[in-house]
Amino acid sequence: MTTTATSMPGATPKPSRPKRKWSWSHFFIYFVLSLVSLFTVLAFFWVIMISLKTTPEFLTTSPWALPEKLHFENYLTAWKKARIGSYFGNSMIASFAGAGISVMISALAAYVLARVPFRFNDAFGIYFLVGYMVPLMLTFIPLYFMMQSFGMSGMIPLILLYVASGVPFNTFILRGFFESLPSELEEAAVMDGASPFRAFWQIMLPLSWPGLISAFLINFMSLWNEFFLALIFLKKENATLPLGLFYMAQRAEYTAQWTDLFAGMIITTVPILIIFALLQKQITTGLTEGALKG
């Protein structure tokens, strides 16, 4: 005769998961989200279909008609002749440099605000938040003339602006993450004779990798799609992907090379989708740990 754990005296019954009560509001929310997801998937599928057609086929058939033959050479044409490959490299340089340098500077500022008590600690924290709230449209004209007065043009001023624009948000995120770290390891390092910078570099910074990765990925995805500053500071020969697609769209209006444009759109979108699909857990984990514990 077998005896279950629940029938044994003194055994603690396993708590049952509470049943979720469904209502019409839940049904409506899930219905709306399902529609939005369906339209997004259909739009992405439509772009892929157009990118695999020829230009005459695109102009003479229904927009939703499947391609008679898959023309993958459109991607090669977009990569070489339409210079998507060059735009891709420029976006990689600008996004990686802007996000990486911004996160490192923000880590230094966030560590001081979180771990070093001083008189104007809260005031500086509010200052960084105010910097994040200032609209870009109010600053791009003085920024342009300031860069011109310094004799700076091309990719360098764009990267500097990318770095500066990411510091307020990154500092806010990383400050909460540094506040969540235990202080015992830091105190032990100081007692062993480590300087404050060494304690930060060798002890606290390695512990904050989840927050650093989250901040970097969010900045990278934002800068990858940035268009306005690139339009102001870059010329056609060193354009990034969003600006390059803008030039391709202008050319397609006169040359009808729409399939190359849609192939370029897919090339631009796929890297971000892959990064988010593979690292979305790291992004959410890093953000929630810093927000909840801080």
* Tens of pLDDT, residues 84-127: 999 999 999 999 999 999 999 999 988 888 887 778 877 887 88
Does one domain contain both 124 and 212? yes
Does one domain contain both 99 and 38? no
Residues in the chain with pLDDT < 70? 1-22, 285-294
Does one domain contain both 159 and 240? yes
Secondary element (H or E) of residue 140: helix 140-149
Give the integer Cα–Cα distance in Å for 294 and 279.
23
Which residue range is the domain that position 44 belongs to? Answer: 25-71
**What b/e string do you get for 112-128 counting C-beta neighbours within 10 Å, with b at 16 or more?**
bbbbeeeeeeeeebeeb
Residue 64 lies in a domain: yes
Contact 110, 171 (CB under 8 A): yes
- Which CATH number fits the domain that encloses residue 221? 1.10.3720.10
Residue 112 lies in a domain: yes
- For residue 6, the model assigns a pLDDT of 46
Residue 64 CA from chain centroid, whole number: 31
Determine how many CB atoms are found less than 10 A away from the CB of residue 4: 7
Q: Determine the 3-state secondary structure of 235 from DSSP.
A: coil
Amino acid at 149: S
Determine how many CB atoms are found less than 10 A away from the CB of residue 294: 17
Give the integer Cα–Cα distance in Å for 17 and 228.
49
Count Cβ atoms within 10 A of the Cβ of residue 22 and give its class: 0-12 exposed, 13-18 middle, 19 or more buried: exposed
Number of residues assigned to the chain: 294
Amino acid at 44: F
- For residue 65, the model assigns a pLDDT of 85
- For residue 75, the model assigns a pLDDT of 92
Does one domain contain both 50 and 82? no
| % helix, strand, coil for the chain, step of 5 | 75, 0, 25
Domain finish residue from 71, 90, 108? 71
First to last CA, the chain: 53
- For residue 17, the model assigns a pLDDT of 58
Determine how many CB atoms are found less than 10 A away from the CB of residue 103: 27
Does one domain contain both 197 and 94? yes
Residue 109 lies in a domain: yes
Give how far Cα 260 sits from Cα of 49, 79, 155, Å.
12, 9, 26
Residue 13 lies in a domain: no
Residue 103 lies in a domain: yes
Residue 60 lies in a domain: yes
Phi, psi values for residue 293, rounded to 5°: -80, -30
At 9-27, the pLDDT tens digits run 555 555 555 566 667 777 8
The count of domains in the chain is: 2
Does one domain contain both 202 and 121? yes
Does one domain contain both 31 and 135? no
Residue 265 lies in a domain: yes
Give the integer Cα–Cα distance in Å for 266 and 32.
26
Give the integer Cα–Cα distance in Å for 289 and 152.
40
